[in-house]
């Protein structure tokens, strides 16, 4: 009787979260990420045993820790990938505020662990590197500001995002951590370009970056030492770069054999910054190409899926996350083969490290959330209609 008077109420049947997540997630990217984590554990079995032996620990102590932190990273990635874009935006902004506050406190409470750069908080049982968590948070904040600037009567979000990026770069340079500073600037530049920045302004910003690098070379002994080491034609075989280059040459196409590599006994950072050298020596060029292919799959597929996205916030944020993931991997491997100066940057989801792997899990979770399939038309259809 009620339906006859008032009409029937449409019932909206909602699909459960897990089936909807599985149906919309990019399964190729998800599989590639999980394989990368498996490769990291495989390489950790070889690369971290010498370090544990030198420190008087159980042989697989660092592998167990990597599995523990990696498990936390996968849980964080899966949980984040199930979020809506609005939830990802809230998480990113809150995470940025917390990470930036930690970054500001580094000069007072941080430590350098004897590496010449104050980048970590020592927690006793582990260490915490704020810059790793700052990157995805900054990308989300910058994407939100840039997307808001495209709205009618919107705020000058592009200018605000540039101010925030400049402040972050200054704090990172004080550590000094020029590698992460360059990565933050790169992410901002890519998003700014996608948002429609004039090429003249990008060239001007590029010139400012070059001037800043020149100033840093003259003002920072840490920075100058790394640049000089990169530019010198003679490579000292007793340095980390020398050991890594020799290991890559020894590995050839198929490697010297599982467990037969020697570089892990000489490189103090074989399990972190130079883990690709261990992969090249023991498993050869074949495994290195597979690793590059996995990173390329995640990055390129994500960018192609984002090209179909209508929402500018999702498109900008996803582009920034995909680019910092792919470029960080490229920088790490470029340093190992001496194509780039030493940066002290880990290989995402492969290198050992609690902060780096958990931050990578959150970054990839945000990226997977942004690249999920949504019921929308092609962005090209919208532009075509506007043209008519």
If one compares 45 and 322, the residue with the highest pLDDT of the two is 322
Burial of 141 (0-12, 13-18, 19+ CB in 10 A): buried
Q: What local confidence, expressed as pLDDT, does residue 303 receive?
A: 95
Percent of the chain with pLDDT over 70: 87
Per-residue pLDDT tens digits for 93-125:
999 999 999 999 988 888 877 676 788 887 777
Per-residue pLDDT tens digits for 323-356:
999 999 999 898 888 888 777 788 998 988 888 8
User: Maximum Cα–Cα distance for the chain, whole Å?
Assistant: 91
Task: Please say if the pLDDT value at position 289 is more than 90.
Answer: yes
What is each CA distance from 290 to 119, 123, 352, in whole angstroms?
31, 36, 19
Q: What local confidence, expressed as pLDDT, does residue 90 receive?
A: 96
Between CA 256 and CA 261 the distance in angstroms is: 7
Task: Please say if the pLDDT value at position 368 is more than 60.
Answer: yes
* Contact criterion met (CB below 8 Å) for 329 and 43: no
What is each CA distance from 388 to 131, 141, 152, 384, in whole angstroms?
47, 34, 22, 6
If one compares 177 and 372, the residue with the highest pLDDT of the two is 372
The mean pLDDT of 209-233, rounded to a whole number, is 69
Between CA 266 and CA 78 the distance in angstroms is: 37
The mean pLDDT of 230-242, rounded to a whole number, is 66
What pLDDT band is residue 175 in, cutting at 50, 70 and 90? confident
b/e burial code for range 228-262 (CB count within 10 A of at least 16 → b): ebeeeeeeeeeebbbbbbbbbebbeeebbeeeebe
Q: Look at 3-12, 253-262, 311-320 and tell me which has the smallest mean pLDDT.
A: 3-12
Task: Please say if the pLDDT value at position 2 is more than 50.
Answer: no
- Which phi-psi region, left, alpha or beta, contains residue 7 (left: φ > 0; alpha: ψ -120 to 50)? left
User: Which of 94, 272, 112, 101 is closest to 176 using CA atoms?
Assistant: 112
What pLDDT band is residue 298 in, cutting at 50, 70 and 90? very high
Tokens for 213, please give them. 């690098």
* Contact criterion met (CB below 8 Å) for 236 and 228: no
Task: Please say if the pLDDT value at position 7 is more than 50.
Answer: no
Burial of 101 (0-12, 13-18, 19+ CB in 10 A): exposed
The mean pLDDT of 290-302, rounded to a whole number, is 96
Sketch the domain layout of the chain as residue ranges. Answer: 26-372
Strands (E), the chain: 121-122, 127-128
Range with top average pLDDT, 130-134, 176-180, 230-234, 361-365: 361-365
Q: Look at 20-24, 189-193, 256-260 and tell me which has the smallest mean pLDDT.
A: 256-260
Task: Please say if the pLDDT value at position 6 is more than 60.
Answer: no
Percent of the chain with pLDDT over 90: 40
Average pLDDT, the chain: 84
* Contact criterion met (CB below 8 Å) for 52 and 60: yes
Between CA 267 and CA 273 the distance in angstroms is: 10
Our CA angle for 220, 222, 227, nearest 5°, is 95
The gap between the terminal CA atoms of the chain, to the nearest Å, is 49
Between CA 181 and CA 172 the distance in angstroms is: 6
């Amino acid at each position: 009787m009620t339906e006859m008077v008032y009409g029937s109420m449409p019932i909206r049947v909602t699909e459960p979260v897990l089936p909807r997540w599985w149906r919309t997630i990019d399964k190729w990217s998800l599989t590639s990420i999980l394989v990368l984590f498996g490769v990291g554990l495989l390489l950790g079995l070889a690369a971290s045993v010498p370090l544990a032996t030198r420190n008087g620990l159980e042989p697989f102590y660092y592998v167990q820790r990597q599995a523990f932190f990696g498990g936390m990273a996968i849980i964080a990635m899966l949980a984040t990938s199930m979020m809506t874009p609005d939830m990802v935006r809230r998480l990113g902004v809150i995470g940025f505020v917390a990470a930036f506050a930690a970054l500001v406190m580094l000069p007072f409470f941080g430590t350098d662990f004897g590496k010449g750069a104050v980048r970590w908080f020592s927690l006793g049982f582990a260490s915490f590197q704020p810059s790793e968590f700052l990157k995805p948070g900054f990308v989300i904040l910058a994407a939100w500001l840039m997307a808001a600037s495209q709205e009618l009567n919107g705020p000058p979000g592009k200018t605000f995002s540039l101010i925030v990026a400049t402040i972050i770069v200054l704090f990172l340079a004080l550590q000094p951590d020029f590698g992460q500073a360059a990565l933050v600037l790169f992410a901002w530049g890519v998003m700014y370009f996608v948002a429609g920045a004039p090429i003249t302004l990008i060239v001007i910003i590029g010139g400012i970056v070059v001037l800043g690098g020149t100033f840093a070379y003259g003002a920072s002994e840490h920075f100058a030492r790394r640049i000089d080491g990169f530019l010198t034609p003679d490579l000292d075989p007793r340095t980390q770069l020398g050991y890594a280059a020799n290991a890559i040459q020894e590995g050839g196409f198929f490697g010297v054999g599982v467990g037969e590599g020697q570089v892990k006994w000489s490189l103090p950072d074989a399990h972190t910054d130079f883990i690709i050298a261990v992969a090249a020596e023991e498993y050869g060029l074949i495994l290195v190409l597979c690793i590059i292919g996995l990173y390329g799959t995640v990055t390129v597929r994500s960018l192609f899926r984002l090209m179909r996205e209508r929402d500018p916030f999702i498109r900008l944020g996803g582009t920034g996350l995909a680019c910092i993931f792919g470029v960080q991997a490229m920088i790490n491997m470029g340093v190992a083969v001496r194509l780039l100066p030493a940066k002290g940057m880990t290989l995402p989801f492969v290198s050992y490290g609690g902060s780096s792997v958990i931050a990578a899990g959150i970054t990839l979770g945000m990226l997977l959330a942004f690249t999920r399939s949504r019921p929308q038309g092609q962005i090209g259809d919208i532009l075509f209609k506007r043209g008519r």
